[in-house]
Structure 1
């Protein structure tokens, strides 16, 4: 099904409100969902929204939580999401983050006690659109193993980097420490599709290409030990430094009534303080790389309308119907 942006926003906002979220939560989450769709990150757009809707209904996400924001030192911001969504905490700290990065040249933001952050690139992309270079990571419920362990020890622990580009869209890199994101495996299982080798192991710890068996098992890190090391570094930042739950201790984001209580760690800097013509230099360099055949992340995406599989929209709408009888959006 194809939607204009405003129509897609109305659908998302209405459903989020229907399951009990307050206006601030609904607006923040709606913007994040639509941004993911427009960025081509559809696995964490409407396809991921049912995880939030179910979380609101089952109590894993507070429907009206007010984030607690502190400034322990001039170049640091801490956010306690209070079992709410990470997007709202980021929204409320955003302008102060911009101001402090511009004033001090660099600022760190930590967030704890939140539900999954959704599309990690959403956070760095917004900062790049305001002229900042940033790098971010987060953790999640443990669903990834290492080849030596065979047990769930890390979340997918992604890392995202974004930078402003003169006269162009920001450069945004967003990738998991796992060989793929869990939502990709789950979506393949729902479509009864196979997955590539090296993505996951089954519940017995054996490599599998059967997505349905992979859902019961665990993801594996990309690049073997090197990917696992990156996952560990991201875990230390996203859970250790922020004070959030370690992935091994985080309740499920898909079941039960407890918040995963995971973390987000982000550093942003004003590039002109270090290199006055940075956006222009980066634009020139990216053009050189593209001419040499290098794939520039995101450069192929030109989304103006939002295409969502009908089964995804039906699933999203079903939450409103379930919570409000037969009212339809």
Structure 2
């Protein structure tokens, strides 16, 4: 189905309200969902919204949660998500976080006790739009094997990095520590398709191309031990610093009645205090990489897709729209 961005946002908001979210949480969730879908990241767009809606319905997300934000230091924001969605706590702090980074040169946001984040680049891109360089890390329930392990000990534990660029889209890198995202495995299972070798292990710790077996086993890190070490680094930043659940201790995000209560860490840096011409320097360098060396620059494709979506809307599978609409109808009635 073809939806304008306003239609998509309205549908997401109504669905979240129908599932039990507050108005604030519904708006935060709708904004993140539509942003992901508009930039072509459908895996964490409408399809992943259903996970949030079902979690709201089951009580894994407290739709009425009121995040509590404190400032243990002038440039540090510590948020207890109180079992709600992670976007709400960040939304409450985003402008102040940006102001603090510009004033002090660097500022950090650390959150615990929230649901999983969806598209992590959503957070860093927003800070890049404020002219800031940013780094984000988040964890979730254990899905991925660690170095030397065949059992899940980490989540896909992604990292995202963004930097502003003069007269163009920001550089945005958003990638998991795993060889692929869990939702990609689940999509393959639903479609009855095999997954590539090197993505996962089955429950016996053996390599598998069967997505059903993979979901009962463990995802694999990209690059072997190097990717697993990055996952551990993410774990320390996201869960260690905030006091959130380690991935091993986090309940599943897609079943049960308890939320994962995991963490999010975001660092924001004012580049102009270090290099006044930063945005023009990076723009020239990225252009050189692209034009002279054929390098793909992360973030440019998503920005172009978002521009097109603003005019032409987005295309969402009919069955997903129908499922989301079921929740929206509850609010209407």
User: TM-score over 0.5 for the alignment?
Assistant: yes
Q: Which has the higher helix share?
A: 2
Q: Tell me whether 1:138 sits opposite 2:142 in the alignment.
A: no
The answer to which structure, 1 or 2, has the higher relative contact order (CA under 8 A, 6+ apart) is 2
Q: Which runs of 5+ in 2 are unaligned?
A: none
Q: Residues 192 and 212 of structure 1 are in contact (CA less than 8 Å); yes or no, is this contact kept in structure 2?
A: no
Paired with 2:135 and 2:39, the residues of 1 have a C-alpha distance of 18
Q: Tell me whether 1:53 sits opposite 2:61 in the alignment.
A: no
2:295 is aligned to 294
RMSD of aligned residue pairs (Cα, Å): 1.3
Paired with 2:201 and 2:187, the residues of 1 have a C-alpha distance of 16
Paired with 1:205 and 1:312, the residues of 2 have a C-alpha distance of 33
Paired with 2:55 and 2:127, the residues of 1 have a C-alpha distance of 28
Q: TM-score, normalised by structure 2?
A: 0.95
Q: Residues 39 and 298 of structure 1 are in contact (CA less than 8 Å); yes or no, is this contact kept in structure 2?
A: no
Aligned residues: 325
Q: Residues 135 and 267 of structure 2 are in contact (CA less than 8 Å); yes or no, is this contact kept in structure 1?
A: yes
Alignment of structure 1 residues 277-292 onto 2, 5 Å: 277-291=277-291, 292=293
Paired with 2:300 and 2:268, the residues of 1 have a C-alpha distance of 22
Alignment of structure 1 residues 1-329 onto 2, 5 Å: 1-146=1-146, 148-291=148-291, 292-301=293-302, 302-303=304-305, 304=309, 305-320=313-328
Paired with 1:254 and 1:229, the residues of 2 have a C-alpha distance of 26
Paired with 1:299 and 1:209, the residues of 2 have a C-alpha distance of 32
- Shift in Å at residue 299 of structure 1? 2.0
Q: Residues 11 and 328 of structure 2 are in contact (CA less than 8 Å); yes or no, is this contact kept in structure 1?
A: no
- Shift in Å at residue 147 of structure 1? 5.7
- Shift in Å at residue 320 of structure 1? 4.2
Paired with 1:150 and 1:209, the residues of 2 have a C-alpha distance of 16
Q: Residues 244 and 263 of structure 2 are in contact (CA less than 8 Å); yes or no, is this contact kept in structure 1?
A: yes
Q: Residues 147 and 220 of structure 1 are in contact (CA less than 8 Å); yes or no, is this contact kept in structure 2?
A: no
